[in-house]
Structure 1
Amino acid sequence: MPTTTSPDPAKARRRLVDALTAEGALTEGSPWHEAFAAVPREVFVPRFTLSGPDGRRTVEPGDAGYLDAVYTDTTLTIRHDDAGTPTSSSSQPSLMARMLEAFTVPDNARILEIGTGTGYNTALLCHLLGAAQVTTIDVDPELTATARLRLADIGQHPAVVTGDGTQGHPAGAPYDGILATCGVDRLPVAWPRQVRPGGIVVTNIGNGVACLTVDRDGTAEGRFLPGDAMFMRARPEPDHTAPVAAQFTGLIMNETGTRREMDLPVSAHEIVHTLAHEIWMLHHDVLSMSFGTDPTDPAAVVHGLVHPSTGSWARITPQAGDRVTVEHDGARDLWGERLDLAVQWADARRPEPGAYTLTVEPCGTHTLRRTGAHPVSWTL
């Protein structure tokens, strides 16, 4: 009778660590390198979903390829809201590694993690710093309860708190650093107030990861890491359902407004679905969409922008050549704003987030700066 061999999680972890090291997400010999090799991701994601060409599928132990999926450099989603938007996951390991490598806190540092999620990132922090030094918070009581149990399964017992992470956790302050595994549109003023002078805050803002140092006066200032990054957004409450572009298809396709035609210096698709960091920062609350009869034909695709809180919208319809028809309405000229920013970004040779710095004053004012050959700043 032939024998079968069960997959070896340790070997799978090692393959992932080797891949993360080869691509530069982990540094050979760093403490985080050892942590990723030691902490079992499978404990924290016994069941998850993956999205592919055929839609969303659920993966769990016993399924073919389960362990390979766990130790692939991909996001493993564990929860969706009522609109089908992912709300919690085990983030892409390479992105986690980049953030943790940038989270330069001293030995015996006391840290606050915002966004417990599955608990896997918490386990990595505990492995390096010691569980007694780690506090983690999440708005969802089911997530915190499950994470607490799974952390205990591997012998880690950090402080796991249920609450609104955008308010930090003042009862445990001050911290030497705050690491957020959720995305925010603006740095919450509570975070730097709960960090010691010289401590750091690492979080996803816009489509980049900001690494900010807190000064004695409470100002947080620093750079964005190289490369694009997008985490699931922080939620004000467990059952919060964020607006999605699909809700506004009827508005974009059927409403009438002010109409104009223009030639574009860059494609409409690039402007609507831009990677420009300044647009992600300034248009953080603007939804983008595209739909048409032939997605492979740019002339057959209609694009839309909508700002849900004001009802402002824009419909962009490609014409012959580089010409488009734009119809829009509302308090904001979304297309005019987006076009100006996109053209500036293209003229600056499409810099990635690592070309930007951010200063957040104690009152909450944000100043975004683009460095290099085309410097510019925006007050948010």
Structure 2
Amino acid sequence: MSDRELRVDLADRLTKAGKLRSAPWRRAIEAVPRQEFLRGGFFDVVDGSVPTFWTPVMPDDPHWLERCYADDSLVTQIAGTIVPGDLQGRISRAPTSSSTMPGLVVRMLEDLRVDDGMRVLEIGTGTGYSTALLCERLGEDLVTSVEVDPDVALRARNALASVGYRPELVVGDGLAGHKGGAPYDRVIVTCGVLNIPQAWIDQTRPGGIILATVCGWLYSSELARLTVAEDGTARGRLLGGQVSFMLARPHTPPPLGMLPDLDNGEERPTAVGADLLGDWAARFIMQLAAPRAQRLELPRNGRTEHILLDVEAGSWAAVYEDAGRWLVRQGGPGRLWDRVENRVAHWQAAGAPDLARFEISLTDGVQTVSWPA
């Protein structure tokens, strides 16, 4: 198929999946050539690799164009600097930039509830594809996009210009927004954050909407939509759907460093087992109790121990199964698993409500996430 046919086919698939719901965004999907934002290639996972290895896919690959229109996120940068054209062979490092799957992009754009004439601030330009969709829908003069990585921003600028879009592009810390273009009617964020920065609220007009993914270091995340009030607060709900993005770089966790003595702690039975760490909703609840705890699994003492560690606080918990029951051993200045256990118990006592029923609010920079009574 030609690229035009591929764009129409993508719009058809997204419509059928219920992600593309309005004519203006369908026109944008059909108008913007995604492949122009992937001219530098992308990385593919090497099948079966442990740990995960990546290999480049360049435009001379016979499947490259078709892959550009798959409903997939395509990694475009690894380890903060490496792009597909830099590599021959394969690499095992963490992805640091990508072109988000079109289904998620358009779902978020629909959830943003934009209308003609609205000014939009985008946090996280990335390849520029979603920026281009905003330009096509609203006009480039109403779109401002912030990208923290200068090289990523330059590639996006060039790609946008190649297809005729010249929005205001800013290189800087997206957590600070862009005060020069405020106030905005809408703010959309394509990275995960531990909490919604007050700067975004301050730069959004009363009645305006912020759409962002709230995450933590246990990596359960949810899309949140908040409406800004006259008094500088914001309130809204989680939208559900297990939306996940790379964390904003200033919000990435610190190195684990040397582990504490995991045998030197207080041990007791626990009603909340580590099996709940595999449940997205339960892990989100745990994360509310311990937002700066990181998780690892270690084979110790003839079993697998599930470790939660708050590096900055120095608190830790090791949870493991023994003779059919769950035990926890804790150490450091606080009792990490006590907080987790308590929060999970309250959630379960309320009937374990779905995350899409949760409310989120910000007052004086303090973020609160809660479920209905």
Q: TM-score, normalised by structure 2?
A: 0.86
Q: Is the 8 A contact 1:115 1:181 kept in 2?
A: yes
2:302 is aligned with 1:304: no
Code of the aligned partner of 2:369: L
Q: How does 1:186-225 map to 2 (within 5 A)?
A: 186-206=195-215, 207-225=221-239
Tell me the equivalent position of 1:4: none
> How far, CA to CA, are the matches of 1:25 and 1:283 in structure 2?
33
Q: How does 1:1-380 map to 2 (within 5 A)?
A: 7-27=1-21, 29-46=22-39, 47-51=41-45, 52-54=47-49, 55=52, 56-81=54-79, 84-206=93-215, 207-236=221-250, 242-243=253-254, 247=256, 251=259, 255-262=262-269, 264=271, 267-271=273-277, 274-276=280-282, 277-292=284-299, 300-321=303-324, 323-361=325-363, 363-371=364-372, 375=373
Name the CA shift for 1:132/1:175 in 2 (closer, same or farther; >3 Å): same
Name the CA shift for 1:57/1:302 in 2 (closer, same or farther; >3 Å): farther
Name the CA shift for 1:342/1:272 in 2 (closer, same or farther; >3 Å): farther
Q: Is the 8 A contact 2:293 2:309 kept in 1?
A: yes
**Structure 1 residue matching 2:226: 3-state secondary structure:** strand
Code of the aligned partner of 1:33: R
Name the CA shift for 1:133/1:282 in 2 (closer, same or farther; >3 Å): farther
Aligned residues: 350
Tell me the equivalent position of 2:85: none
> How far, CA to CA, are the matches of 1:169 and 1:24 in structure 2?
33
Unmatched 5+ stretches in structure 2: 81-91, 216-220
> How far, CA to CA, are the matches of 1:220 and 1:257 in structure 2?
43
Name the CA shift for 1:11/1:344 in 2 (closer, same or farther; >3 Å): farther
Name the CA shift for 1:349/1:70 in 2 (closer, same or farther; >3 Å): farther
Q: Cα RMSD (Å) of the superposition?
A: 2.4
Q: Is the 8 A contact 1:259 1:325 kept in 2?
A: no
Name the CA shift for 1:280/1:15 in 2 (closer, same or farther; >3 Å): farther
> How far, CA to CA, are the matches of 1:41 and 1:345 in structure 2?
42
Q: Is the 8 A contact 1:117 1:144 kept in 2?
A: yes
Code of the aligned partner of 1:32: W
1:20-65 Cα distance to aligned partner (Å, 9 max, x none) = 22221111x4311221222111111231223353232322212243
Name the CA shift for 1:84/1:275 in 2 (closer, same or farther; >3 Å): farther
Name the CA shift for 1:69/1:234 in 2 (closer, same or farther; >3 Å): same
1:200-230 Cα distance to aligned partner (Å, 9 max, x none) = 1111112111111111111111111121112
1:112-165 Cα distance to aligned partner (Å, 9 max, x none) = 111111111101100100011111111111111111110000000001111111
> How far, CA to CA, are the matches of 1:93 and 1:164 in structure 2?
25
Code of the aligned partner of 1:217: D
> How far, CA to CA, are the matches of 1:23 and 1:349 in structure 2?
30
Unmatched 5+ stretches in structure 1: 1-6, 294-298, 376-380
Q: Is the 8 A contact 2:289 2:340 kept in 1?
A: no
Q: TM-score, normalised by structure 1?
A: 0.84
Shift of 1:355: 1.1
**Structure 2 residue matching 1:221: 3-state secondary structure:** strand
Shift of 1:177: 1.2
> How far, CA to CA, are the matches of 1:344 and 1:309 in structure 2?
26
Shift of 1:109: 1.0
Code of the aligned partner of 2:43: T
1:233-268 Cα distance to aligned partner (Å, 9 max, x none) = 1124xxx97436xx45x627x632213241545x42
Q: Which moved further from structure 2: 45-54 or 95-104? A: 45-54
Name the CA shift for 1:60/1:346 in 2 (closer, same or farther; >3 Å): farther
Shift of 1:72: 2.0
Q: Which moved further from structure 2: 218-227 or 52-61? A: 52-61
Name the CA shift for 1:331/1:9 in 2 (closer, same or farther; >3 Å): farther
**Structure 1 residue matching 2:191: 3-state secondary structure:** strand
Q: Is the 8 A contact 1:271 1:339 kept in 2?
A: no
> How far, CA to CA, are the matches of 1:76 and 1:242 in structure 2?
23
Name the CA shift for 1:67/1:347 in 2 (closer, same or farther; >3 Å): farther
Q: Which moved further from structure 2: 82-91 or 139-148? A: 82-91
Shift of 1:317: 2.1
